[in-house]
Structure 1
Amino acid sequence: MINLIEQWLHELTVQHYKATTIRTYHQSLQPFLAFLQHANIHDFDKITRQHISDYLAKRIDKDKMAKVSVQHELTVLRQLFHWLIKNEFIHQNPVLAHKIKRSARNLPTLVDIDTLNQLLEQAEPDNAKQRQLWLRDKAMFELLYGSGLRVSELVGLNLSDINSHDKLIHVIGKGDKARIVPIGRKAWQALQNYLPIRQTWLKTSSSAVFISQKGERISTRTVELRIKHHAKRANIPQTMYPHLLRHCFASHILSGSGDLRGVQELLGHEDISTTQIYTHLDFAHLSKVYDNAHPRSRRS
């Protein structure tokens, strides 16, 4: 079974899946393999629907895993067993009938335009070194909010992904799905201010857009720390994090356009139900406006 899994993961590598995706798939399968070993099952063809049910129940009830995490493991299993069927290593797929009922999804927290401006339009630091860092960080934040990028997509950007003529970015998102997103005027200007600084930091022929002062591709953790740093510098009381800017992008675009399908494309959501959460956010905002403004809406 381990050999077959390695063969499957190798095929995904050939298909240009990201190394991080391959590692995640490999890690997700380890508890399942341990479960099979404990059940004395050494052949994929011996796995039944009941085995899958027992495994999922164990992960939720005994291991106390969050349903969203177990759903991810189930998704990985579906892909693996689909490949096993396709290549005739097994004759029946025991995973097909299984679904996990999702918990109610919490609405993401948003911040208003004034708070975003407070972050993005804050004064440059007086210190020359800190000023350079701020110009890089501002370019990152403007892209997160202006183009709706995930932080992993931001740090993965290469110079070749930027279409300077049309001001577009080629983005590789979840599941290695590609999409094209526009670069807004503010984000474009922020990029132009940062790129000359990038050249002074460059030590090798790195293609990464966003690099550290050592010339290395920046990490997602660094982006998280930098946005917290600048939120504190701007005296913003709310907790700021990279994905919050993506949430704001989606909500503000949807509020201004009403085009749910368009927002889905810009965000790179495979399922429109994922995008629909922002319609609830917009309605929640309208309800709040109504409650605060309408004389007959107020209740004791």
Structure 2
Amino acid sequence: MWKEKWIQNLRNEKNYSSHTEISYFTDLTQFQQFIVEECGVFSPEQVDSDLIRHWIAHLIETGITPRSVNRKLSAVKSFFKYLKKIGKINSNPAEKIRGPKTSRKLPAFVHHEEMTRIIDDELAYPESFEGVRDRFIIELFYVTGMRKSELIGLKDADIDGYSKTVRVTGKRNKQRIIPLSDATVEKMKNYINVRDREVPNKTAFLFVRKNGEQMYPKMIYNIVRKHLDSISTLPKRSPHVLRHSFATEMLNNGAEINAVKELLGHSSLASTEVYTHVTFEELKKVYHNAHPRAKN
């Protein structure tokens, strides 16, 4: 009962996405099962810090990655925080517990020259509605840094051709405005003209399928993957790689980190700072390849 009320609270007051709700619900269910196996029954009032630490140790022993352990711990912390808020328990036993340290991987990205080649490759995009749409999807990802879900959710009403901006609805329904270049606005107009001519009975969404219905995540992923496959050295080929590419290029070309944070829709500067490490890695490559003493 408390678990369902907690999830409802996340949905109504915290504006968590359905994906986060499902993940948290699953994580807490697994935690409950562990407590039942250890104690015979799950009673929030009887759970203490030592029991939670024992659960974390169990997760690590079974091969769960530190990142996943920390997500599960976040779910448990959130649950007990909610119970304390409504007076079900007097203290949060998970409040001061820290999860295992995670090694943060540098995000994969595509260099500007490669992105230009991919976008300008005439043979890669057929002269059809799908071809025009797919090429513009790739370019819009790259020039705005928006997330896959944000692009799928775009509607015609979110585009302001006069002010050359696009309104993006991000995580927890937070909205931000991203500026567009004159060239991007012209390409958007071209795409919309082709779409309106070729697609009957379309929805209000900007990007649609041939039948006029909204596109879905796997479809977007496949489009991006198809066009990034030509880069054999790229470890990942997803829409998020284009988001990484946008952020990296912005910082490489002198953009202020707080401005990039706002454009990406990050709630924390720490999420944006990872791209400064990427740019530093690029500087090291240039140094080692160019300086005669570094080569030695």
TM-score (norm 1): 0.87
Q: Distance in 2 between matches of 1:198 and 1:245?
A: 24
SS at match of 1:154: helix
Structure 1 window deviating more from structure 2 (216-225 vs 172-181): it is 172-181
- CA deviation after TM superposition for structure 1 residue 279, in Å: 1.2
Amino acid in structure 2 at the alignment position of 1:14:
N
Q: Give the Cα–Cα distance (whole angstroms) in 2 for the partners of residues 171 and 78 of structure 1.
A: 30
1:88 positional shift? 1.1
1:161-240 maps to which residues of 2 (within 5 A)?
161-199=158-196, 200-203=198-201, 206-232=203-229, 235-239=230-234, 240=237
Q: Would the aligned equivalents of 1:171 and 1:179 in 2 still touch at CA under 8 Å?
A: yes
- Report the CA distance between 1:126 and its aligned residue: 8.0
* Residue aligning to 1:147: 144
Which structure 2 residue ranges, 5 or more long, are not aligned?
none
Aligned residue runs from structure 1 range 213-292, under 5 A: 213-232=210-229, 235-239=230-234, 240-292=237-289
Q: Is 1:28–2:27 an aligned residue pair?
A: yes
Aligned to 2:112: 113
**Pairs aligned (count):** 291
1:67 aligned to 2:62?
no
In the alignment, residue 237 of structure 1 is paired with which amino acid? S
Q: Contact 2:142 / 2:246 at 8 angstroms: preserved in 1? A: yes
| More moved, 135-144 vs 179-188 | 179-188
Gaps of 5+ in 1: none
**What secondary structure, in the 3-state scheme, does the structure 2 residue paired with 1:291 have?**
helix
Contact 2:154 2:205 in 1 (8 A): yes
Aligned-pair identity (%): 29
Deviates more, 1:87-96 or 1:274-283: 274-283
Partner of 2:18: 19
Query: Which 4+ stretches in 1 moved above 6 angstroms?
Result: none
Q: CA deviation at 1:175?
A: 4.1
Matches of residues 289-300 of structure 1 in structure 2 within 5 Å?
289-299=286-296
In the alignment, the residues of structure 2 paired with residue 185 and residue 44 of structure 1 have an alpha-carbon distance, to the nearest angstrom, of 57
User: Secondary structure at 1:32's aligned position in 2?
Assistant: helix
What's the CA shift string for 1:62-84, capped at 9, x where partnerless? Answer: 2x111111111122222222222
Instruction: Tell me the equivalent position of 1:100.
Output: 99
Q: Distance in 2 between matches of 1:124 and 1:191?
A: 20
Distance in 2 between the 1:245 and 1:55 partners? 37
Q: Distance in 2 between matches of 1:51 and 1:211?
A: 50
| Structure-2 separation of matches of 1:126 and 1:40 | 60
